[in-house]
Structure 1
Amino acid sequence: MNIRFLAPVSLAISLSSFSYILATQSQEVKPAKASKDPIIAAAGDIACAPTSPNYNRGNGTADACHMKATSNLIVNADLAVVLPLGDIQYETGTASAFQQSYNPTWGRVKSITRPAVGNHEYATTGAKDYYSYFGAAAGDSSKGYYSYNIGKWHIIALNSNCSEVGGCGAGSPQEQWLQADLKAHPSACTLAYWHHPRFSSGKHGSDSNYDAFWQDLYASGAEIVLNGHDHDYERFAPQSPSAKVDEKRGIRQFVVGTGGKNHYRFVSNQPNSQVRNSDTYGVLKLTLHPQSYTWEFVPEAGKTFTDKGSDSCH
């Protein structure tokens, strides 16, 4: 593995211009120009409830409800796909809240959005309003897990609300599906995303309920896992399911709970955690090259924290 990354710095960011189209029939995103590689953007824990005292007609306050500011980073940004990482609409994911808060902000890129469902969406029975809002883009409403391809990459959305889908452990329907999906798509590069992180230094911490996901992804040589749930940004070194640094086959995990709702403070320093920030809203942008990737955390306007680097696929 050839690792190339820069330490987090505070500076102004200039983003290159790319253009992509979503091929909805084939479930594959292809670059509009062969010379360009697709860029995706991700964050979770996004839109405040319209009843929140911090909502402020959708504009938020100094410390909370920054969904409009983060959405400005992904609108007209020439992205292939946008990945909301769960807890997309607070507090209970109702249809009216989606229309009032999420839709005028992140909903502006709904046509290229492939979401992962969070626990707050299931506060409405069966997350029915979430599935109604996103439609087929969110997968089968009885499952909430699905996969697709972007360029040379295979992308997997999982449902970490285990009790809603028959479990997440070894032998569960979802885990068996994951094994079969990975076997059917032996891509050089694989990215998976779901809401609750396996590893986290944040308020909610690490959760071993997702060990089976990690075991399967690690065995298949996956590169990246994206999560939300803890309202902060954290990047881990490539590691094994047992949290051992593994530069050759390890999975690099990003927690990107920076979509706008509010921030949580870190409560620990988990092994292999390389970068942490708990006071900046923003999105993680990933450029997916055929055999490698680059990452860049892009902060909302007026903020300077960033984190960027690159790595090769296994």
Structure 2
Amino acid sequence: MLKMILLSFVLPVFTGAGVLAFGWLCPPLRKVRWIASCAFGVALACAFALAYFGEMGYMVPAVPPTRSEGWLIVLGLFCLPLSIFLACTEDKDHPWVETTGLVLGLLIALLPALFAGDKSVFDGSAKPLFPDMGALEHGALALEIGLGFILLVRLSTIRSGPTIPCALAFAFLGGAALSMASGWISLTILFGVLSAVSATGGLFARFSGMPMIGRGGASVAAILLILLSTACWYKTTAPDDLQWWYWVLVAGSPFLLVPLENRLFAKMPDAGAFWVRMVVVALPVVYVIVKALPMITGDGGSDATDEMDEMMRMYQ
């Protein structure tokens, strides 16, 4: 048990913190724009990959995976080069961001179709990205990832410092609570690792010259947040009291920062504006956690027969 905690939580968090320390706290590296821009994204992707391997075992992922949760590590590993690539495009503006976001969302949603061969996702003969997802759900996922990518990348260009990392820490924490309530323990740990790394990023950003998370960090955060939330909803049988819009509140909470970028907040003291933003972001997450607590502590857990529920037995 101790070894599993070390491999699936402690090691990933320290690895992510180490990447952030090199990219944001080391003055020579911090001056290199693409390194500072991709540090947050690489930290999230590395921590996620290590946590996944610590939970599921160290093995080369198959493409396409035999089980649908395998897409998580495939896309998690894809986030590593994606973060570095996007960090090298910081000088390219519209329509680069919009095009990249929409294309990424479309490609992720079309993954089942790309590997379906003669089968079709429209008639249900091809295996979906996650159980019970149809063509409409895949289209919605493409739109969510595309818009989330665009909004968070645009936000990252105007808001530096600890604000966005701290907002993401709240969102991932809410995802951990909902995953626990749904009975997917492994995903709870993955969300927890991402939350801890994001919180560390917020702390480091406060004392490292207020860096921006950059396109690399924003893209990885948006993809992982939306993808993991979607996976948990479709791969588990949620308790009756766990509503689908709880996930909307959690995954959408960082994007509440967008309307707060206005003249009113620009006139406020930096510390005051930061804490107001954090309260606005935290409110829906705290509400969801309060609603999820009875499901976690009581008998409101998942009664799913999904194959991932077998992973719970090692914790009992």
One fold, TM greater than 0.5? no
TM-score (norm 2): 0.27
TM-score (norm 1): 0.27
